[in-house]
Amino acid sequence: MNKPRLLSIDVLRGMTIFFMIIVNTPGTWEYVYAPLQHAKWNGWTPTDLVFPFFVFIVGLSMSFSFTAFKTDRKLLVRKILIRTLLIFLVGLLLNWYPFFNKSLNDLRIFGVLQRIALAYGLGALICALLNIRWVFISLVIILFGYWGILLSTGDTDPLSLENNLVRGIDLYLFGEHHIYHGYGIPFDPEGLLSTLPTVGTVILGFLTGGMIQNLSDQYLKIRNLVIAGSILVALAYGWQELGFPINKPIWSSSYVLLTGVWLCYFLQFYFG
């Protein structure tokens, strides 16, 4: 039997794919409209919303699909681990392709699919094994904990491109030949440490999906999404004022909250 689908998730996924195509194929890379380019470091453009939209949709979809495994958590955990491994391996193979002219000595370990795999894996385990209260607490711990970790180095500018701990850990664990060089120096925007706040984006999607399921009245769904978006935008820019700028490359906690704002607003347009 066909499983029922929530049309709003399919619409949001389709819109995200549509915009991703526009961003990736602007016609000519010599003349690109500013909104179709990523922010160089701090700040954001509409292009910086594409990746977190996909990650948020992962969490949103989880909140619906996990209901089929309420009585069999072992099976759910096994499916999560297998899916995580497969997605990560596909991403790694795509980095290596075409295999005949790429040396393993220069293979980039991380990438978009690897980021999605790890964020999904850890986020799904948290959402599958903990009750909703502890899922929310986990989100708070992740976002504040990540901020604290980045500031723990004692560096005078720990959130800069050159000195951030995301880059430092990747260089130490993998070496400069296995990470991204598109920023002029070895730095991977899909690095290991910055996967942690991406888990927060997955959890935010899961919590939003749970709220949608628990409300049958369309008006209440719209109201709650608008309220949630308004709270998130205030928190995101408030956190920026406190010294944690909105930044996609290191996936700052304020960036997690900002992307959640737009996702709440897009969803409420559908329910309206």
Average pLDDT score over residue span 16-39 = 84
Average pLDDT, the chain: 89
Cβ–Cβ under 8 Å, residues 45 and 35: yes
pLDDT in tens, 102-122: 788 889 999 999 999 999 999
State the number of CA atoms in the 13 A half-sphere of 169 facing the CB: 15
Cβ–Cβ under 8 Å, residues 78 and 224: no
Q: What is the pLDDT of residue 146?
A: 97
Average pLDDT score over residue span 23-39 = 82
Written as six digits, the tokens of 12 are: 């949001």
CA–CA separation, 233 vs 230, rounded Å?
A: 5
The three-class DSSP label of residue 43 is strand
Q: Does the pLDDT value for residue 57 go beyond 80?
A: yes
pLDDT in tens, 204-251: 999 988 888 887 777 888 888 888 888 999 999 999 999 999 999 999
CA–centroid distance for 166 within its chain? 15
Q: What is the pLDDT of residue 13?
A: 84
pLDDT in tens, 63-106: 888 887 877 889 999 999 999 999 999 999 999 888 777 788 88
Q: Does the pLDDT value for residue 266 go beyond 80?
A: no
Q: Among 137-141, 152-156, 256-260, which stretch is predicted with the lowest mean pLDDT? A: 152-156
Q: Above pLDDT 70, what percent of the chain?
A: 96
Q: What is the pLDDT of residue 272?
A: 47
Reference 236, options 48, 54, 63, 58; nearest CA is 48
Q: Does the pLDDT value for residue 269 go beyond 70?
A: no
For the packed helices 253-271 and 132-151, what is the interaxial angle rounded to 10 degrees?
140
Band of the pLDDT at 1, cuts 50, 70, 90? very low
Q: What is the DSSP letter of 35?
A: G
Task: Please state whether the predicted TM-score (pTM) of the whole model is above 0.95.
Answer: no
pLDDT in tens, 159-209: 999 999 999 999 999 999 999 998 999 999 999 999 999 999 999 999 988
Residues β-bridged to residue 247:
42, 43
Q: Above pLDDT 90, what percent of the chain?
A: 59
Band of the pLDDT at 143, cuts 50, 70, 90? very high
Burial class from Cβ neighbours inside 10 Å (0-12, 13-18, 19+) for residue 77 reads middle
Average pLDDT score over residue span 31-51 = 89
Written as six digits, the tokens of 6 are: 């929530």
Q: Which residue did the predictor score with more confidence, 101 or 151?
A: 151
